[in-house]
Structures are given as structure tokens and as C-alpha cells.
A and B are shown apart, each in its own frame.
Chain A
Amino acid sequence: MSAKPEQVKVQFETLDQQQSADRLGMWIFLATETMLFGGLFFGYTAMHTLHPQIFDEASHELEWKLEFINTVILLTSGLTMALAEFAVAAKRRWLTLFLLILTLFFGAWFLTAKGIEYVDDFANGIVPFVAGGYHYAGLQPEIAKLFFNFYFALTGLHAFHMSIGMLLLMLMAWLTFRWRDPDKMIRRLRIVGFYWAFIDVAWVTIYTTIYLVPR
């Protein structure tokens, strides 16, 4: 009890214990996130089995090339995030800040491109839940609506997670700018890095399942 460092919270004995608790907490959180996306993927897979051709044909309406570039962008942001974690570990304040801002930039790019795709989708008439947004002429348009609803649900859920991630990154950038407690920054960026990596993985899964596999 006596020689406990100040930043160790009362319930922990050592800093090591506290950090490993934080990491475990994040892993567990990501497990629940996986189940969240997993539930929707399960639904998509089940409905794809029910109407395979309709779903596959409807998928051709999606902008897979634009989203391929977008995937590369997002993976790059994952790289810059990982580099930011190394930079902060080396206590390089400005490099960390630069890498975080770069990550934010790529994230914003991704979300903007996603928004552009949504606008295109409306122009192409594949938005079934907006008045005047649906004039799809492929196989069984009524059932193809189901595919488009899944598409918007999955990508929308992902975009929502991205936005949360962006907010966290902004907070991190600000804290890095202030540079009060570098040791604490290392731990914080590790946690946020976990989350950002999860967002990447989730996107790659979505891209593969609904853009690429039907082709």
C-alpha cells in the first residue's frame, strides 16, 4: 500500500495490473461489438441464402470501385494509427500529433466518400426507404429492396462507429497537443488504436461480403 505510484487507482495494486485491466476491458468490449455486427451479418447471410440471385444482381448496383479506393484509404488510416502508437511510445509529441491528424484526415476522407456513394445511390434509385429514391429495374425489385436495406443498415452501422472513432481521435489529438502526461497518452492511444483497428476489420468484412462476394 505504501509505495503505490500516484496514477494507480485505489482498487489496483500496481500500474501493471491497472494497464492489463484496461486492455482486457477493451478486448471484451470489442467482443461485444463483434456480436453486434455479427447479428446483422447473420441476418444478411440468412436472407442471402433465401434469395441468392436477387441479392447478387442487386449488389451490382453498388459502387465497388469507389469503395475499393475507400478500403485502401481506411487501411492506410489504420497504418498511420499504428505509427502514432509507436510515435507516442517514443515520446515524440509533434510526430504523434501529425500522425493522429493524418489518421483523422483519412477517416474524414472515408466518410465523405461514403456520403458521396449514398448520394449516388439516391440518384441511381436504390434507396427504398426514401420517397422517390427507388426505381431499381433489376430482378424482382420488391425483394431487392431487402438487399438494399441490409446494405444501408450495415454500412450505416459502420459509419456510426467511424464517427465515434473520429470523435475519440479528435480528443486524442487535443490531449496529445496538451501533452500533460505522456505515459498516460501511451495507454490511451493503445486503447483507441484497438478500437480503430476493429473498425477497419469490420469494414473489410462488410466490403467483402456485400460488394465483392456477389461479383
Chain B
Amino acid sequence: MSAAVTLPDAPPSYPEEHYLNNGYSLKSWLTTTDHKRIAWLFFFALTFMFLIGGTAAALIRIELITPAGDLVSDATYTRLFSVHGIVMVWFFLIPSIPNTFGNFLLPMMIGARDMAFPRINLLSWYVYMIGALAIIASLFAGAPDAGWTFYTPLSTQYANDATIIAAVGVFIVGFSTIMTALNFIVTIHRLRAPGMTWFRLPLFVWSMYSVAVLMLLATPVLAITLLMVTVQHWLGIAIFNPAIGGDPLLFQHMFWFYSHPAVYIMLIPSMGVVSELITTFARKQVFGYEVMVFSMLMISIASFFVWGHHMFVAGESTFSALVFSLMTFVVAVPSAIKIFNWTTTLYKGTISFDTPMLYGVSFIGLFLVGGLTGVIIASTGVDMNLHGTYFIIAHFHYIMVGAAVTAYMGALHYWWPKITGRMYPEMWGRFAAITMFIGFNGTFGPQFLLGVAGMPRRYHTYPPVYQVLNEASSAGAVVLAVGYIMPLCYFVWSLRYGKIAPPNPWGATGLEWQTPSPPPEHNFGGEIPVVSRKPYDYEHYDAEHGEWQGRP
């Protein structure tokens, strides 16, 4: 990125004072307002929730090995996929990159000492924890059983109380999302370092900006929708009840008005991460920086007008289905542009194959498959066949896991030295990245075929003709699980035994690399940097020695 930065000389070894050893007590962590420590709080909470959601996913895949539904009962299966969806969407994917890496990096990347509202930032974590506790309480109350989509009248009139407790949990965690997003926008607007103009912002910061806009405008609609579901269930103030003339489609419209942008809330941050990864490991200026920025903003605006593509066969009018279909194709264009731009960035680069780059490249591949299959089902005529089948499941897992989680993993490896001051074991890292890529395709590739064969989603038992493909998918899931467990182990190992990381192990230009690893409490040792270069200016950066060449 930018930066002829005035900084004290980076210490050669582990710095004596940094944000991590600035107090060890539990209290110092639970009352911290340091954005870097809050990021850690989120890391712990998210990893825990990921394990809950992942366990549910594992049980689902084991159950589907046989067509008969013999491992768990239909009631348990229903609860498993509901919990898996709710936990993964709202308690892992949506906060994943923004609340961890966004929190950790955003102030550093724009040259600020902290977020604009550090206390709201901490409050966001507490609110998240209250929501997470509500979800865990709902598990003990019998676990939600209406799917993650809470469709009425199933959720309001037929589901158990745990479903409503979970809805309240999601309602609460929405406020955490809103607080974080508000913080991001104000921070980016008001706290950029001198010289850090809008078009010198790293693409990761732009992705945080776009995603914050989405969060702010979409989340309240989900909040009011789930609130109305709750009051209908508990108080009887019903606005969705078809028995009194309510329209069950109203819920779907309001739900998808949030939940389609929510997909981009998961995806846009990973686009930001991958832009950082590709430029760093290709040591090259990103191709078409402005176009990358505007395509990201276009995605976030256009994504508000495509929600109806979830309802092509739900009963919306033919006319609106066609409008939403057209809009969906339109929103796919900027995504295509981004893929072309990343590819072109590689051209004449200086490419290394470090672990984060492997994740970056697998992101492009998986996002390509997820995106292209998304284009296929954006076509109304094809969607009326594939809607609600495993094709949809495979498609959105390629986006939400293949793209978003891969980028999360990439980010974790890329910024791990900055966050902890230690390197992870590189060979294990590469091995895990490749395992994850193979395991992921093994799990969800067969599900495309299942969908084409017509297998509906959310089926506890299924016709035996689908068994072979289901077994293939479950086999892939084993590999994928191994891929996820490996980083968990070697990251913990590296906290103590990892090599000590230099301030800038990758030779990257971003401001966050111009400060010690791990960084001191207010990021830049008191003075904030002055920025005088465009981002990703690798042309004038000697990455081997960390020196700028020529004048800005």
C-alpha cells in the first residue's frame, strides 16, 4: 500500500511491549477497549461457535450416508440442520472477517490508533455473547426446528419454543453487527491518517466499508422481521398469519431483503482479503484499483434489489420474478470483473506459493464455481427445476464456505505473524490448504450432481438412488474436517513454539506491516503515520529489504 512512514526502527526480535502483554488478567481482557484485543475476543467466540456449527454439519453428513435415516431421528435431524444454519450464518460467517480481521486491521490500515468508538466496539462483543448464549440456551430448550430461514407459518405456529429463543438470539446478535458496522463507517470517514485519501485506501478497507453499508441497512429489517415472528408466537400480535388474511410471502420478502444482502456481507470481506493476498504474494499493484472499488460498491448497492430470486417458485408474480432475475444477472457482472482483475494482477507479478497465496488462489477457483452456478440458477427457467435441491446447497456452500471460509483461513495465515508475532509452520500450512481444497470439492461437488438428480434439501430420509453420491459427499467431508482441524492444532502450537516473526514477513506495503509484530497498544507508538503513496505500490518497493525506492 501507501506510506512513506515515519516510524521508530522496528525491533529485530519480539518487542518488549505490545498489545498482548499489556495486562494478562481476565479483567484486562474483558474490559479492554483496544480494537486488537477485541478482535481476539471475537476469535475465541467465533471459533467456539464454528465448532458447534461444524459438529452439527458432521452429524448431518454422517446421517446422510444411508437413505433410511437411522442414525438420528427426524426430530434430531431437523434440529441439526436448523442449528447448523443459524450458528454458521449469524454466529460465524457474518461476523467472521469483519469482527476479527476488520477489528484488528482496519485502524492500522488507515493509520489510526483505534476505532472511533472503542467502547461501542467492546459492547458489540458483549451483545454478540448474549446472542450466542441465547442460541446455546435454545439448544438446551430443545433446539430450534424450523430451519435457519424461520419461514412462517411453520416458525410461528408449528415450531417449538426453542425456535423462537433462537430467533431472539439472532435478533440480539443483529445489534452487534450494527454496532460494528457503525464503528467501521465512522472510523473510515473520520480517522484516516494524513494523506490517506479515499483512493489510497487498501481494498480490504473498501470491502469493510461496503459491507458496513450492507449491515447497517439490511440488519434492521431482519430485526423487525424476527421481532414480529417472536411477538406472533408469544403474544399473538400476528402480521404474517394467513388465517387472518396475512400473506406468508410477506415474511419471505422481508427475510430475504436482509438475507440476500447477508450473502454479500459474507462474501465482500473475503474479496477484500483476497485482494490483499494476491497483491502481496504477486508483489504487484492490483489491476484496475478504481474498478475494483466501484465494483465492490456496486455489488453492495445492487444486492439490495435481488432478494426476489429466492422466491421464483414461491408465488411472487411472474413480472417481479423476471425483474429480480435480471437484477441478479446485473449483480453478477461486478463479481466477474473482480475475477478478471485478480487474474490480470498475476500477469508479470513475482509470485510465491506461501500458504496464504494457496488460499487466495483456491478462493478464486471456488468462487468461480460458486459464482457461475449462481448465474445458472439466476435464470428463472432453470431455477424452477433446481430450486430447493442440493444444487442450491452446493452453490451457496461454494460461496459461503468455499469463498468466505477459505478467505478467512487465508487471512488467518497471512496476518497471523502480525497478530501473534510468531510464524505458523509453513509446510503444515500448505498441506492444510491443499487438504481443505480437496476436501471441500469432495464434499460439495457431488451435491451439484445430487441437485441435478433432483434430491430436495432438508431431507432426513431419501430415495436409495441418491445414496452413492451422498456417500461420496460424506467421504469428502471427512477430508474437509481434517483440513479444518490441522490449522486449529498448529496455530495453537505456534503460539509458543512458532518462529518469531519479523514486522513484515511477506514484504507487503500495507501500513499494518510498518509497525512491530505484534503491534504496540495504539498501533504506531504514539505518532500516526503520514501517507504519501498509492496502495500496493510494489513497483517502488524493495520487498526484500523493506525499503521504498524513488519519491512518492
Residues of chain A touching chain B, judged by Cβ–Cβ distance below 8 Å, are 1, 9-13, 17, 20-21, 24-25, 28-29, 31-40, 42-43, 46-47, 50-51, 54, 128-130, 140, 142-143, 145-146, 149-150, 152-153, 156-157
Contacts and interface: CB of A to CB of B under 8 A. Distances in A.
B482 interface: no
B245 A1 contact: no
B22 to A, nearest CB: 14
A33 B220 contact: yes
Interface in B107-152: 107, 112-118
Most chain B Cβ neighbours within 10 Å, of A25, A51, A128? A25
Contact of B190 (A17, A54, A130): A17
Contacts of A20: 190
B237 A153 contact: yes
A32 B216 contact: yes
Nearest to B527: A1
3 A-B pairs with the lowest CB-CB distances in the bound complex, closest first: A143-B245, A129-B236, A36-B220
Contact of A51 (B115, B235, B245): B245
B244 A143 contact: yes
Interface stretch (B221-229, B424-432, B455-463): B221-229
Given A1-B527, A21-B116, 18 more contacts: A11-B114, A20-B190, A21-B186, A21-B189, A24-B185, A28-B216, A33-B220, A36-B221, A39-B224, A40-B228, A46-B247, A47-B250, A140-B245, A142-B243, A142-B245, A146-B241, A149-B237, A149-B238
Contacts of A33: 220
B363 interface: no
Contact of B115 (A11, A37, A146, A152): A11
Contacts of A38: 220-221
B111 to A, nearest CB: 11
B219 interface: yes
B236 A32 contact: no
B220 A24 contact: no
A16 to B, nearest CB: 10
B220 A28 contact: no
Nearest to B218: A35
A50 B221 CA distance: 21
A35 to B, nearest CB: 4
Given A11-B112, A35-B220, A153-B239, A146 B244 contact: yes
29 contacts: A1-B527, A11-B107, A11-B112, A11-B118, A12-B116, A12-B191, A20-B190, A21-B191, A24-B185, A24-B189, A24-B190, A25-B182, A32-B178, A32-B216, A32-B217, A34-B220, A36-B221, A39-B254, A40-B224, A42-B253, A47-B247, A50-B247, A129-B236, A129-B237, A142-B245, A146-B239, A146-B241, A146-B244, A152-B237
Given A11-B116, A21-B190, A39 B245 contact: no
Nearest to A13: B528
A33 B182 CA distance: 12
Given A28-B216, A129-B236, A47 B246 contact: yes
B209 interface: no
Contacts of B367: none
A36 B236 CA distance: 20
Contacts of B528: 13
Contact residues on B (Cβ < 8 Å of other chain), bracket: 35 or more
Nearest to A55: B245
Contact of A153 (B117, B223, B231): B231
Contacts of B185: 24, 28
Nearest to B249: A46
Contacts, number: 125
Given A39-B224, A46-B247, A31 B186 contact: no
Contacts of B189: 21, 24
Contacts of A9: 118
Looking at chain A's contact residues, is the secondary structure mostly helix, strand, loop, or mixed? helix
Given A11-B116, A25-B116, A39-B225, A50 B257 contact: no
Contacts of B228: 40, 43, 153
Contacts of B231: 153
Interface string B282-293: 000000000000
B235 A129 contact: yes
Contacts of A142: 243-245
Contacts of B114: 10-11
A41 to B, nearest CB: 10
Contacts of B397: none
Contacts of A156: 237
B186 A24 contact: yes
Nearest to B523: A11
Contacts of A35: 216-221
Contacts of A10: 113-114, 522
A128 B528 CA distance: 60
A43 B190 contact: no
A20 B116 CA distance: 11
A126 to B, nearest CB: 13
A29 B185 CA distance: 11
A149 B118 contact: no
Contacts of B225: 39
Contacts of B190: 12, 17, 20-21, 24
Interface string B174-203: 000010001001100111000000000000
Nearest to B114: A11
A149 B239 CA distance: 6
B315 interface: no
A31 B217 contact: yes
A143 B257 CA distance: 25
Contacts of A140: 245
Contact of A28 (B186, B191, B250, B257): B186
A20 B107 CA distance: 18
A42 B222 CA distance: 13
Contact of B182 (A29, A36, A128, A152): A29
A129 B250 contact: no
B526 interface: yes
Contact of B238 (A13, A42, A46, A129): A129
B112 A31 contact: no
Nearest to B236: A129
A50 B235 contact: no
Contact of A43 (B191, B235, B239, B526): B239
Contacts of B253: 42, 46
A141 to B, nearest CB: 9
Given A11-B115, A17-B190, A25-B186, A43 B219 contact: no
Contacts of B250: 43, 46-47
A128 B246 CA distance: 14
Contacts of A13: 528
Nearest to B107: A11
A58 to B, nearest CB: 11
B220 A32 contact: yes
A88 B254 CA distance: 42
A147 to B, nearest CB: 9
